[in-house]
Amino acid sequence: MDLVAEEPSSVIDIRKNRIRSSLLLHLYQSGDTSINKMAKLFHASIPSATGIVNDLMREGWITETGTGPARAGRPPVLYGLNAKKYLTLIMDINRHDTQLCIFDLHNQLILKRKVDIRLDDSSNFLEELFTSTDDFLKSNNITRSKLWGIGVSMPGLINSSQGINLTYLNLTPPGVPLVTYLKEHFDLPVCLFNDTKATTIGEHRFGYAVDKSQVLTINIDWGVGLGIIINGEVFNGASGFAGELGHIQVKPDGMLCHCGKVGCLDTITSAIALIRQAKDGINSGRATILKQIVHGNLDLLETSHIIEAVHAGDEFSIDLLSTVGTELGKGLATAVHLFNPEVIIVGGLLAEAGPFISNPIEQAINKYCLSDFKNPLSIHISKLGAKARLLGTQAYLFDNLIAKEFS
């Protein structure tokens, strides 16, 4: 008898929690709204929507934010996500440095610290990360109770559902998933995500890909990654590895890639490749202001110096980026034929070069793509820049934590 009596209540609770989580996701994504709009959006009655709003207000999830425009009569009360309910910690890890960021639930960046910790496939990296993060939180008086969870974006072959990064297996003891190791140290929920996919979510939620269904994002960083949106959803593949554009072979007799293969796109178009090509050109006697920018010390040469030289009109640096862009465009032409996107968004370190990188990419796509694929296609430099990756990691973390909170 008890089981029969509990079943209807259980079904009602499940539906109620689905509406609660959907409402919070809607407020996070779209901003403030009224009870009438909530009821229509989630196919609920006004009394039911009012009850859910009251529950969420009592729990501190939402607050009244003001009133909206009224067509007639009293203006509707607007409700929004309570930005102060929790803070989140975002770890943005790459092979050059690591950023530690604190966000509120309105995606406002509260605190940021860049630490000189370069991703390395050894346990020493996590020891340094733990020390720096603990100091960052302590020095800013951020206790564990204030944090809702941690989002981690990093390069590599990441299976988010298993919490592992197959490219960097030596970060943790054998058999211990990276997410498990992080959870044990911080005693908080942790979500691990590939950096390019994080960027893609950021662009889809907040950048040029908003309201787009078929999108490619190219992340030109220390490696080259491709983010894919199909029918409005990020495409992950069977294990979460989809989009490793940097490891398609483009030069069978080319250089050895760090992955162990020969002639990968990474070896001629990544930030590391660009710096190597610049040094080779300088050492062979090419005229350029790059040597002057780094005061003769080529060990200090970074992509930022090359981009600085490009904007100053340095012919050698412009040629370098043109070559990189052309090769990227060739690789992207294949992806365009496979996925038929409506927009391509260029991001990463080299995107700071603006048209000096996007123009040769576009010219190569025009040259190597069938004409019918080019008609609906537009190419943009990301307006969010590096923030796309942070916002994408934050959005991915929010989605997962809400699902867990109201499961």
Q: Which residue has the higher pLDDT, 1 or 285?
A: 285
Average pLDDT over residues 111-116: 96
Examine the pLDDT at 5 and tell me if it is beyond 50: no
Distance (Å, whole) CA 321 – CA 353 = 8
383-396, pLDDT tens digit by residue?
A: 999 999 999 999 99
76 contact partners, CB below 8 Å, separation of at least 6: 34, 35, 36, 67, 68, 70
Average pLDDT over residues 290-304: 93
pLDDT at residue 148, rounded to an integer? 97
241-267, pLDDT tens digit by residue?
A: 999 999 999 999 999 998 889 999 999
What is residue 264's DSSP assignment?
Answer: B
Residue 3's pLDDT band, with cuts at 50, 70 and 90, is: very low
pLDDT at residue 392, rounded to an integer? 97
pLDDT at residue 71, rounded to an integer? 74
Distance (Å, whole) CA 20 – CA 401 = 13
Examine the pLDDT at 1 and tell me if it is beyond 90: no
Q: Average pLDDT over the chain, rounded to whole?
A: 92
pLDDT at residue 7, rounded to an integer? 46
Which range is least confidently modeled, 5-14, 106-115, 285-294, 322-331?
5-14
Distance (Å, whole) CA 89 – CA 150 = 5
pLDDT at residue 4, rounded to an integer? 41
147-174, pLDDT tens digit by residue?
A: 999 999 999 999 999 999 999 999 999 9
Which range is least confidently modeled, 4-18, 92-106, 196-210?
4-18
Residue tagged 């090419």 (tokens): 286
Average pLDDT over residues 375-385: 92
